[in-house]
Amino acid sequence: MLQSFRKAGQSLVGKTIATVLFGLLIFSFAIWGIGDIFRGTPRNSVARVGGVEISVEQFRTAYNNEIQRLSRQFRTNLGPEQARALGIDQRVLGQLVNEALLNERAKALGLSVSDQLVARSVLEEPAFRGADGQFNRPAFEEALRSAGLSEAGFVQEQRALLMRQHIASAAASEPPVPGAAIDALHRYLNERRSASSFILGPAAAGEIPAPSDADLQAFFEERKASYRAPEYRSASILELDASKIAKPESVSDADARQRYEQSKDAFGTPERRTFQQIVFPNPEEAKAAAERLSQGLTFEALAAERNIPPQDLTIGTFSRTEMLDPAVAEAAFSLQEGQTSGPVEGRFGTVLVHVTKIEPESVRPFEEVVGEVKSTIANERARAEIESIHDKIEDMRAGARPLKEIAAETNLSVQEIPAIDQNDTDKQGNKVELPQRDALVRAIFESDIGVDNEAIRTSTGGYVWFDVTNIEPARDRTLEEVKDQVTRQWRENAIADRLAERARQFVERLGKGESLEALATEAGVSTKVVTELTRRSPKDDLSADVVARIFATPVGQAAHAANGPDTRAVFVVKEATVPPLVRSTQEAQRIEDQLRAALSDDLMAQFLAATQRDVPVTINQAAISQVVGGSL
């Protein structure tokens, strides 16, 4: 399971969670409410803020609640190991400390929240309202039971939350935004530039002589760490997966045929029908309309009489199983193309159904897919055997039997990995095909020779066992080992230096009055004018780095910048334009809101920092590790 958590940390969802976590604002930390903090106080605490202790149980509850909230939000099983890697423990601790700091500040200032304000906040809470929109006592009590709170505990927590909100609002709410700041951000976001440029390629560097041994040695010594050989590990791997033990040849034709008939839709496209529908308020009107249709009235004309727009008449194209109303589905799939049903009692009233198009089913014949069907059945049967084989392998592992011997007895095969680094590449730089790649590589490098490792559960329900058979420590390579690589990089650097020097000279000559076109002709290249450049966005032949340099260069002046690994751009900034900012527009309001939020964050951070200077904070890292290191 832990290996799956490690893999999740490398996924897109994992990275997205990390981005959200670390992008959240301090302001939200300060005013966010927490779970039940009114249970018995344990002997240990994770932090002490002034005279207030944050208990281990309080931290554990808030930590677990946050993990569960994020797991629901991102629809992934966020485990403790990934949570620690994402820094959720530090975020929750910071939240609790900030709340305690604000509580201590309120106490020092002698502030309080009236009973009337607390009562009003409870009565106005949407979670406590009934169907009539009014406060509902049973809903309130059910919410408290779900949170594990007593009524007195909730009121106490709500009072503290309101106090924190008031302090935060006084410290950082709605700061005025200077007009100059709005103008500056508007310019930064909306400025457009144009530039004339030409690109110097590798040919412009001229002939690069071969490096001497002394040159290579000096170059190598300066960058020795980048050529260092990583740690390599060898391993034996035994994978138990349904596909490894499935026996399609053992599946009979009769079983395959039965499965094929049961799941034909999986081997083609089912019949689909496009139909129109008119809903009537009662069966009598539907019957009368059906009679008129039988006398020659068209379905479209009937719809027009009932003020149904043409775009609302056609329901769509569906297979039988895709239709929500069984009665309508039965009627639609019993008609010929162009026919109209009689009155049908559907879920949403009495309807007439008119079929406008029929797309016949297209199913691959059994003879064409028999192999696929047998493989599917064999894999299903094999999955049922995996746990018993797993137990058998674990028993043999407990008896210290080697993986090769276990594989022979279970009709599996062992994959021998001669050498692999932590990026799952071999000594030639090739990726090594591995089951559960990310989790397995991490586990191999966390283990050691002779260690009895825990099996890794695969995403398909199987298992992977491994033994580390050899460890080659990281070491410095000699120049002879990497001479080709060093020579290639030396040449690339020499070309880049030549191009940079030539570009610098061109810029210097441009500053003395020479034209860009004349210099481009001298370099054997052509110029190009690029307009409507936006900050840090590549366009045409110009990279994002070059565009950024264009925006850092005054209008009318020249500069140069690397335009990739082996080219360089020389340019003259021609024009910079900024659309006028109309303060009454949504764009201006958005910029002002963005700046106000940033100022609020900064003010809140300064307020908390000042409070912490007055209120001592101590952290018990051992207690925190005890919580985040345990299972949830």
Least confident piece of the model among 388-397, 563-572, 607-616? 607-616
CA gap 464, 455 in Å, rounded: 5
Least confident piece of the model among 79-88, 374-383, 512-521? 79-88
Share of the chain above pLDDT 90, in %: 40
Residues 44 and 124 in one domain: yes
Token pair of 414, please?
A: 């062992």
DSSP assignment letter at 421: -
Residues 290 and 382 in one domain: no
- The yes-or-no verdict on residue 557 having pLDDT over 60 is yes
Within a domain: 429: yes
Confidence (pLDDT) at 193? 96
Query: Tokens 């594990």 identify what position?
Result: 148
Nearest by Cα to 304 from 294, 295, 312, 315:
312
Residues 318 and 413 in one domain: no
Mean pLDDT of the chain, nearest integer: 85
Sheet with 617-619: strands ordered across: 52-55, 45-49, 617-619
Highest mean pLDDT among 19-23, 334-338, 557-561: 557-561
Confidence (pLDDT) at 21? 38
CA gap 351, 191 in Å, rounded: 59
Within a domain: 366: no
Residues 405 and 508 in one domain: no
Residues 12 and 128 in one domain: yes
Within a domain: 352: yes
Confidence (pLDDT) at 4? 37
- Residue 280 bridge partners (DSSP): 350
Highest mean pLDDT among 40-44, 121-125, 160-164, 503-507: 503-507
* Counted domains in the chain: 4
Within a domain: 365: no
DSSP assignment letter at 324: S
CA gap 572, 195 in Å, rounded: 6
332, 360, 388 — which closes off a domain?
A: 360
The band of 465, judged by pLDDT with boundaries at 50, 70 and 90, is very high
Within a domain: 478: no
Q: 413-440: per-residue pLDDT in tens?
A: 999 999 999 999 999 889 999 988 888 9
- Range 157-171 average pLDDT: 83
The band of 267, judged by pLDDT with boundaries at 50, 70 and 90, is confident
Least confident piece of the model among 36-40, 344-348, 362-366, 507-511? 36-40
Q: 233-257: per-residue pLDDT in tens?
A: 999 999 998 888 888 988 898 998 8
Residues 569 and 501 in one domain: yes
Name the CA dihedral angle for 579, 584, 589, 590, rounded to a multiple of 10 degrees. -40
Token pair of 6, please?
A: 């490690």
- The yes-or-no verdict on residue 172 having pLDDT over 50 is yes
Taken in order 386, 387, 393, 396, the sign of the CA dihedral is negative
The band of 459, judged by pLDDT with boundaries at 50, 70 and 90, is confident
Residues 7 and 87 in one domain: yes
The band of 562, judged by pLDDT with boundaries at 50, 70 and 90, is very high
Confidence (pLDDT) at 81? 67
- Range 527-554 average pLDDT: 93
Residues 423 and 440 in one domain: yes
What is the CATH number for 306? 3.10.50.40
Name the CA dihedral angle for 504, 507, 509, 515, rounded to a multiple of 10 degrees. 140
Q: In this predicted model, which residue has the larger pLDDT, 85 or 467?
A: 467
Residues 392 and 407 in one domain: yes
What is the CATH number for 433? 3.10.50
Confidence (pLDDT) at 210? 92
293, 328, 360 — which closes off a domain?
A: 360
The band of 80, judged by pLDDT with boundaries at 50, 70 and 90, is low
Query: Contact at 8 Å (CB) between 512 and 229?
Result: no
- The yes-or-no verdict on residue 44 having pLDDT over 80 is no
Residues 30 and 107 in one domain: yes
Q: In this predicted model, which residue has the larger pLDDT, 502 or 320?
A: 502
Helix H or strand E encompassing 63? helix 56-74
Confidence (pLDDT) at 205? 92
Within a domain: 536: yes
Confidence (pLDDT) at 30? 37
The band of 41, judged by pLDDT with boundaries at 50, 70 and 90, is very low
Q: In this predicted model, which residue has the larger pLDDT, 113 or 465?
A: 465
- Range 335-341 average pLDDT: 92
Q: β-pairing, 272-280 with 617-619?
A: unpaired
Within a domain: 180: no
Least confident piece of the model among 21-25, 49-53, 281-285, 558-562? 21-25
Residues 141 and 6 in one domain: yes
CA gap 262, 380 in Å, rounded: 15
Burial 538-565 (b: 16+ CB within 10 A, else e): eeeebbeebbebbbebeeeebbbbbbee
Q: What are the C-alpha distances in Å from 626 to residues 48, 89, 472, 619?
A: 17, 11, 34, 13
pTM for this entry: 0.53
- Range 274-292 average pLDDT: 91
In sequence order, the 6+-apart residues with CB closer than 8 A to the CB of 389 are 240, 245, 410
Q: Which domain, by its residues, includes 324?
A: 271-360
| DSSP string covering 98-160 | HHHHHHHHHHHHT----HHHHHHHHHT-GGGB-TTSSB-HHHHHHHHHHHT--HHHHHHHHHH
Query: Tokens 């002698």 identify what position?
Result: 110
CA gap 512, 519 in Å, rounded: 12
Within a domain: 583: no
> What is the distance, to the nearest Å, from the Cα of residue 103 to the centroid of all Cα atoms in its chain?
35
In sequence order, the 6+-apart residues with CB closer than 8 A to the CB of 466 are 235, 236, 237, 238, 403, 440, 443, 444, 447, 453, 456
Residues 335 and 392 in one domain: no
